[in-house]
Structure 1
């Protein structure tokens, strides 16, 4: 997911730095679950595509068509850096995105101007993403599922990233999330750009093995989407297929990936950094 460049210096130093959240946070717990994050991440990309302005900005300013692998790597690196990285690395990643957003602007289908740094647009991108991460965790974590209070704590903690990016009105609880999604629903619809992006995502892979793995994960991701989102995207997978086939396959694939790859070096470095004693500053 990160490509060949892990940049462990973002995670293994300085000693004692908890980063934005710390090892005891619910954010670390959710974002360290491989299957939940993979499936949730694919679901987030599909859900985000249904905002016409957000999708138009991606279509006009992103290289996802010509370099889908690089695009996925950059997204994964941003999530891992802001979650598990040192405070300085997380803040630098956020500032880098803010700097890019300041130059992303254009006109929507109705000719109205848009800017990628609009607080409402940032709120949608952030909220769609973290709601899918949370859903992915709850579906695939088994006995590690969060309690209702922990779900609220996750949304409250992770809201910090959206706010640092410049978002307004980021929901910090399940009740606030439900209210936000109900309000924004009237703005969401499928567009040709959304259908193109989702088709590319579901068919992504440089080899047959990668394409098979991605199809397993994206099929499971479809099951995390609300029914109206599946209908908008024209994806029809019966309930029995989603629950009795797609989810077990994705769960098994996630277990195989963990077994094959071992403990994530990023996770290992982050935990070692957070647990190390701080070095006193002298001067």
Structure 2
């Protein structure tokens, strides 16, 4: 029968594995294992190694919170948000949309160079076919350079901020991280993607006069508070991440959304967000799920393309 302690360990491992499988299926789809193997297990040169900042950030559990922060920040650009509202399936199939984003980030960070380049070409083609008219009357395509630049910068700023606040990792060369993210960004048409944190900050500041929390942005905020498809336990963990994402937004973004929590409530939300990221990290440490990834030795610097 085993000792009580062995029973506790067994139950712990069973609970973690079930939670890890659920998390993986939501972010990677029903074929998450096969998809992971096409990224981690396929032979060929990579752009980056485990020693690179982009690997450190994108492999960290803080990415789950950073992704929510990015969606909220991106929503404040009315034309970019119109493109999402009019063309995206985030309401009907939010997890499918998440899986597409997750696959793009994973493939361009960890995957073989030819596969990453093919994926970037497909994304570019899809962007060129998405067109519409924003509420302010502006005609747009998803391939508009200024929209792509905003989406990219809001995303990278969010990943970097979440890593620093919630990553519980060592020092990071932020300038090098920003520069490394430019490879995939420019591969899908982002013009002159920032190459340093200072450039990233300047680009984001240049968009400030354009930002607003219009009806579409507020709709995203409402939807992200309680997305479909989560059970009670899943919603509890998700809400921790969401509140942390809200609290970590730049002050101007919170003000546009009408969020005035005060310093005490914001600090509490950040602590709750940190607890949510810790829970994700606990799930990702499930050995059976972690085995989907290649080891440091399998993706050594000798196997990379610079």
How does the TM-score come out when normalised to structure 2?
A: 0.82
Instruction: Indicate if the aligned counterparts of 2:245 and 2:273 stay in contact, CA closer than 8 A.
Output: no
Aligned residues: 271
Q: Which residue does the alignment assign to 1:249?
A: 272
In the TM superposition, what is the alpha-carbon distance from 1:26 to its structure 2 partner?
Answer: 0.7
Correspondence for 1:209 among 218, 226, 233: 233
C-alpha distance in structure 1 between counterparts of 2:264 and 2:134, whole Å: 38
In the TM superposition, what is the alpha-carbon distance from 1:25 to its structure 2 partner?
Answer: 1.1
C-alpha distance in structure 1 between counterparts of 2:297 and 2:224, whole Å: 34
Correspondence for 1:41 among 62, 67, 73: 67
In the TM superposition, what is the alpha-carbon distance from 1:167 to its structure 2 partner?
Answer: 0.9
After TM superposition, the structure 1 = structure 2 runs for residues 45-84 of structure 1, keeping only pairs within 5 Å, are 45-84=71-110
> Larger Rg: 1 or 2?
2
Correspondence for 1:131 among 157, 163, 168: 157
Q: 1:184 to 1:156 in 2, by over 3 A?
A: same
Q: 1:259 to 1:143 in 2, by over 3 A?
A: closer
1:31 paired to 2:54: no
How does the TM-score come out when normalised to structure 1?
A: 0.89
Q: Which residue does the alignment assign to 1:229?
A: 253
Q: Which residue does the alignment assign to 1:268?
A: 293
Unaligned runs of 5+ in 1: 279-283
Q: What's the secondary structure of 1:242's corresponding residue?
A: helix
Instruction: Indicate if the aligned counterparts of 1:57 and 1:106 stay in contact, CA closer than 8 A.
Output: yes
In the TM superposition, what is the alpha-carbon distance from 1:218 to its structure 2 partner?
Answer: 0.8
Q: Which residue does the alignment assign to 1:173?
A: 196
Q: CA RMSD in A?
A: 2.0
In the TM superposition, what is the alpha-carbon distance from 1:158 to its structure 2 partner?
Answer: 0.8
C-alpha distance in structure 1 between counterparts of 2:157 and 2:49, whole Å: 20
Tell me which moved more, 234-243 or 197-206.
234-243
C-alpha distance in structure 2 between counterparts of 1:204 and 1:67, whole Å: 10
C-alpha distance in structure 2 between counterparts of 1:192 and 1:247, whole Å: 26
Unaligned runs of 5+ in 2: 1-26
